Amino acid sequence: MKKRTAIFICFLVLGAALLFAHAPILHCYDNGDGTFTCEGGFTDGSSAEGVEIRIENPKEKDAKKKVIIKTKLDKNGEITIKYADIKVKDFLIIFDAGPGHVVKVKSSDIEK
73: closest CA among 47, 54, 52?
52
Cα torsion 98, 102, 107, 110: sign: negative
Q: From first to last of the 112 residues of the chain, give the pLDDT tens digit.
A: 565 554 545 454 444 444 556 899 999 999 999 999 999 999 999 999 999 999 999 999 998 899 999 999 999 999 999 999 999 999 999 999 999 899 999 999 999 9
Report the distance separating Cα 68 and Cα 22, nearest Å: 28
Task: With 0.85 as the threshold, say if the pTM is over it.
Answer: no
67: closest CA among 94, 89, 104, 48?
94
CATH-assigned architecture of domain 23-109 = Sandwich (2.60)
pLDDT tens for 31-57 read 999 999 999 999 999 999 999 999 999
